[in-house]
Amino acid sequence: MSLILVLDAASSGVSAALFEGEAPLALRRLDEDRAGEGLAPLVAELFAETGRKPQDLALIATTTGPGSFVGARIGPAFARGLALATGARAVGISVLEALAEGAGESGPLLVALDARRDALYLQAFRAGAPLEEAREIPLTQAPQAAPGGDFALTGSGAALWLAAAPEAALRARRLPEAFDLVRPEALARIALRRAAAGESAPPSPLYLRPPDAKPPADAA
């Protein structure tokens, strides 16, 4: 079986877990207040608890965003560095795709994330497969972003979407809030599929919005 390390620093807080195939071995999580800290010690605790070594890893899966700009950088950078040191394969997975996988819906699913500033990150899926590219939209465009027919809805921005699109909301089935969190087992399943398909692109941050910080206009 493949030893898999899964990481999430791009959504809420920081979490890491070890899996043997799809079987969980250990899980660690930090509070959201420490979202930019402590990923390496967290991973070290997993190996200490399970008695496994980084060299045992076959796969490293990390969320890439959208979400925290800091977390979207930390996860992929850590995964790529550890992959280089151990020879494991690193896989990048968007937060939107991870939530769609965790929802387990066979029909249409809209994943909506709160992007702040009266905006949403959105992507529609069917049976976990994307139907469109991930995008950012203002809340005023929420009614036009609904899939056709009845659909399920999940994500941290689900309530915002429902409030902004009351007519389309009549066709939506809001999933329980427990599905709004990235599930480590979903990351492990996606990583195994990517590995079986031979995908080898290294993980990189997924930004759907330019960063707030910009260089001075007179910078060289």
101-158 pLDDT tens trace: 999 999 999 999 999 999 999 999 999 999 999 999 999 999 999 988 999 999 999 9
Query: What percent of the chain lies above the pLDDT cut of 90?
Result: 81
What pLDDT is attached to residue 37? 65
What pLDDT is attached to residue 200? 78
What pLDDT is attached to residue 34? 55
Facing residues of 23 across strands?
A: 20
Amino acid at 86: T
Query: What is the helix (H) or strand (E) element at residue 108, kind and residue range?
Result: strand 108-114
Q: If we measure between CA atoms, which residue out of 7, 85, 89, 81 comes closest to residue 43?
A: 7
Domain 3-95+181-196 sits in CATH at 3.30.420.40
Residue 56 confidence class, pLDDT cut points 50, 70, 90: very high
What pLDDT is attached to residue 88? 96
CA distance 160 to 20: 37
CB 25 within 8 A of CB 166: no
Query: What percent of the chain lies above the pLDDT cut of 70?
Result: 92
What pLDDT is attached to residue 218? 54
What pLDDT is attached to residue 31? 72
Give 35's contacts (C-beta < 8 A, 6+ positions apart).
Answer: 9, 12, 13, 14, 68, 70, 71
Residue 68 confidence class, pLDDT cut points 50, 70, 90: confident
Interval 58-75 mean pLDDT: 93
Amino acid at 85: A
Tokens describing residue 151: 């659909």
User: Which part of the chain has CATH 3.30.420.40?
Assistant: 3-95+181-196, 106-174
CA distance 39 to 15: 8
Quote the mean pLDDT of the chain: 91
What is the reported pTM?
0.92
What is the CATH superfamily name and number for domain 106-174?
A: ATPase, nucleotide binding domain (3.30.420.40)
Q: Taking 90 as the threshold, does the pLDDT of residue 46 lie above it?
A: yes
Q: Quick: pLDDT tens for 180-211.
A: 999 999 999 999 999 999 987 889 999 998 76
What pLDDT is attached to residue 215? 47
Facing residues of 110 across strands?
A: 124, 153
